[in-house]
Structure 1
Amino acid sequence: MNRKDISGFFILLLLFMAIVLGINLFTLSVYSRESLISLAIRDGLFGLVNFFQFYIFFRWIVPSFLHSRNWQLLLLRVFPVVAAFNSFKYLLASGVFPKIMLYQGYRYDLGSKRRIELFTTFGAYFTNALWTSLVLLAAAFAVHLFLHWLREDKRRALLQQQQVKAESGFLKMQLNSHFLINSLNSIYSLAITGSPEVVQANNTLVHLLSYMLDQPDDIDFRSPIRDEIQYLQDFISLQQLRTGIKEGIQADFAGTLPDKQIAPMLLVPFVENAFKHGVTNHPAHPVTIVLAGDEQMLSFVVSNKKSIFNKDKTGGIGLENVRKRLQLIYPQKHDLQITDTEATYQCHLKIYW
């Protein structure tokens, strides 16, 4: 037996004896020295013997039966154990504790005029002990199946957690890839026009990519809101460099946001979607980004006028992946409303802390 098996043995022993002694102790009608001694022998010493019988059932016989499902083999294994333990208990009772364990009373012999003490016979004792053995066998089955259920439930929860983590990481990878392609396209546009701002755009992209790579794939990881705001500001700056019209994008980040944390890179796909499918070079119809919040909720609104060149592509794979990621990370704790009209598109995300 290894250390785990030994610790499990003693835990079962303590629970078994606590239940047996506890139940019988509280059902005593008279707390006297004789009753306590009887309790210690009947339920303490003989309860310990019963535990060893229970443990043999639990540790070897029940697992073997559940593996083979052979009833005949079960009976062949149970019967010798029952016979051995019941015989041992009778020998112990008759040899050491007959008055406590076997005494049935007495009768008067009229011929000899003496009192004859009556004790339980081996057959009667074995029959009564047989019911105890059946209860111990049933308890071994119950405990073994309960512990097996706990292990399986823990395993299922772990597998589900790993699946959710893997799915979240996959969706995050898709979002990052989508963002990277669009950003490289923006820098390429600056480069082919010979814009001197391509160096600044490249440095901004390097900063954005460093932030992305620093985020772990752990589904429970959260970034400070201030880091996400800086990430969004860098992303917006990159787009403003590409268009050359800063007034085409208006961002309002509340200066008094609560000191909370959020899943990293959860907000940028909404902004990216607006830049890709909206008009970003028209100051009269700018892309508007508003981030606000309090101790109960974070509100993020992105609105844009639709571009006639991308009229049928609004939304795209980015927002669909964001929906899935929100369901994984903030189940029952978010609200995403999308207003899609002929000319405008708006996303309003609420996250409840």
Structure 2
Amino acid sequence: MKRKYIILLHITFWLLLVLNATLPLFNNNPFAAFKYHKKDLSLFIDYVLIGLGFQSIAALCFYGNYLFVAPQLFVKKNYLVAALYLLLIMTGMIGWRYVVEFGFFKPVLGFDNYKGNAITVSYYVKNIVFYYFPGYFIYGIGYFFVENWYINNRKKEELQKETLKSELAFLRSQINPHFLFNTINDIYSLTYQKSDEAPEALLKLSELLRYMLREGNDDFMPLSKEIQYLQNVIELQKIGAKGQAYINFELEGLIGDQKVASLLFISFVENAFKHGVLKDSTTPVIIKLYADDERVVFGIGNKKNKDQKDTTGGIGLYNVKRRLELLYPGKHHLDITKSADFYSVNLSLQLNS
């Protein structure tokens, strides 16, 4: 909460306390000094001023303990300084009360709270200790605890958010290097062979990089853009394989602007390309995606390439699972099935509202 709103809240609180004390007094008019006054605006203002005077003493107790005593007691653990502050606050309240009652109430308003009786310092000490301190001392200390709890919670939440952002950024950064290196090599080969497909492949790679570097940096992106990204990846794979990559991409349901985690599905697609059989038309890589307003279901299956010699881990399944935990806590189901010949993944996401 902004500081100006906090100040406004404090002012409002004390004004309400003043009115709460003023209205019954104005209605009953119990003070002898105002016995013959009419219940008009002038009398109401007199009572408001009296209320402000007494509440200013209470405010001195409240803010003195909140600003000076509580930090020394509970943060700095300096009990001697806290005791000195308590003594100063009590002395200040006695002095201020005397000024309010005998420097303003009596000469300006004609209001004598003691009906001419002499008042001693011991009376003031007892009254302040037994009337003001039991309430406003506790209120000041309590407010200090509540404010510090709120501030610490905000700092903790901000730290968690920053940590989460850093972790997600790191996880996203692990997604594409292997595929990009292979694609660049493929385009180099096409260029070396002076293939007509080289310009198209270079254009698609440019679109992929633009998406990854500009748009894909957001945690969530429209589903339609993620699908376009996957389609470009698939086309690049087919171009690199010189038409010998058999990949079926099937879309069902409502494909629109539903928000999904950016660059999430590509993780599974890259692994299928890396470790699967792509050149067998009888067992193509099957990619399916179904979507509606509430969920997205993604599936991919491929025949294992038993001649695969590349054992590097790529992005790692851990990264995928971790992103799901961070972005879809309790709202996803990931099922990975392995057999001697086949590998399949089914992922269900409950869309964030």
- Aligned partner (choices 234, 255, 258) of residue 257 of structure 1: 255
The offset of 1:133, in angstroms, is 2.6
Alpha-carbon shift at residue 121 of structure 1 (Å) = 6.0
TM-fit CA distance, 1:78: 1.5
Q: Quick one: distance in 1 between partners of 2:3 and 2:222?
A: 45
Report deviation, 1:92. 4.3
SS in 2 for 1:141: helix
Q: Could you give the per-residue CA deviations for residues 188-233 of structure 1, whole angstroms, max 9, x where no partner exists? A: 56567775533432232122112211226343xx322221111111
Q: Corresponding residue for 1:344? A: 342
2:269 equivalent among 271, 282, 294 = 271
User: How far, CA to CA, are the matches of 1:291 and 1:154 in structure 2?
Assistant: 39
Question: Does the 8 Å CA contact 1:21/1:44 hold for their aligned counterparts?
Answer: no
Partner residue of 1:212? Answer: 212
Distance 2:62 2:134 in 1: 10
Distance 2:338 2:304 in 1: 10
Q: Which moves more between the two structures, 4-13 or 230-239?
A: 4-13
1:32 aligns with 2:28: yes
Selected match of 1:55 from 50, 63, 67: 63
Number of the residue aligned with 2:39: none
CA offset at residue 85 of structure 1? 1.2
Distance 1:216 1:317 in 2: 16
Alignment of 1:141-160 (within 5 A): 141-160=141-160
Counterpart amino acid of residue 232 in structure 1: L
Q: Deviations over 1:105-142 (max 9, x none)?
A: xxxxxxxxxxxx97876534431321313432332222
Trace 1:1-353 onto structure 2 (pairs within 5 A). Answer: 8-19=6-17, 21-22=19-20, 31-34=27-30, 40=48, 43-90=51-98, 92-93=100-101, 96=105, 101-102=113-114, 123-131=122-130, 132-188=132-188, 190=190, 195-215=195-215, 217-219=217-219, 222-245=220-243, 248-254=246-252, 256-310=254-308, 317-353=315-351
The answer to whether the 8 A contact 1:306-1:345 is kept is yes
Q: Secondary structure of 2:175's match? A: helix
RMSD over aligned CA atoms reads 3.4
Which has the higher mean CA deviation after the structures are superposed, 72-81 or 83-92? 83-92
Q: TM-score with structure 1 length normalisation? A: 0.80
CA shift at 1:160, angstroms?
Answer: 0.7
Q: Secondary structure at the match of 2:61?
A: helix
Of residues 40-49 and 231-240 in structure 1, the stretch that sits farther from structure 2 once superposed is 40-49
How does the TM-score come out when normalised to structure 2?
0.80
Distance in 1 separating the partners of 2:78 and 2:138: 17
Deviation for aligned residue 1:307: 0.8
- The structural deviation recorded for 1:17 is 4.2
Identity %: 30
1:253: how far off?
A: 2.0
Do 2:247 and 2:285's aligned partners in 1 also have CA atoms closer than 8 Å?
Answer: yes
Q: 1:333 to 1:185 in 2, by over 3 A?
A: farther
**1:320-348: per-residue Cα shift (whole Å, max 9, x none)?**
21211121222222221111111111111
1:48 is aligned with what amino acid? S
Q: Is the 8 A contact 2:60 2:93 kept in 1?
A: no
Once the two structures are TM-superposed, the CA of residue 313 in structure 1 deviates from its matched residue by 5.1
Structure 1 gap segments, 5+ residues each: 104-116
Segment of structure 1 superposing worse, 11-20 or 234-243? 11-20
Question: Once the 2 structures are TM-superposed, how far is the Cα of residue 40 of structure 1 from its aligned partner?
Answer: 4.6
CA distance in 2, matches of 1:53, 1:13: 16
The 1:5/1:63 distance shift into structure 2, 3 A limit, reads: farther
209-218 or 61-70: which moved more? 61-70
Deviations 1:34-82 (A, max 9, x none): 4897975665430122113322332334334545422222222211321
Q: Distance in 2 between matches of 1:229 and 1:6?
A: 47
Q: Tell me what 1:106 maps to.
A: none
Distance 1:51 1:175, change over 3 A: same
Letter in structure 1 aligned against 2:136: L
* 2:290 and 2:298 in contact (8 A); partners too: yes
Unaligned 5+ residue runs, structure 2? Answer: 32-42
- Give the counterpart letter for 2:122 in structure 1: G
Larger deviation, residues 68-77 vs 278-287: 68-77
Shift of 1:89: 2.2
Residue 332 of structure 1 aligns with an amino acid whose one-letter code is G
Q: Say whether the 8 Å CA contact 2:304–2:342 is kept in structure 1.
A: yes
Return the offset for 1:249: 0.9
Gap change, CA 1:333 and 1:274, over 3 Å in 2: same
- Alignment partner of 1:308: what SS? coil
The number of aligned residues is 333
Bigger mean CA deviation after superposition, 55-64 or 202-211: 55-64
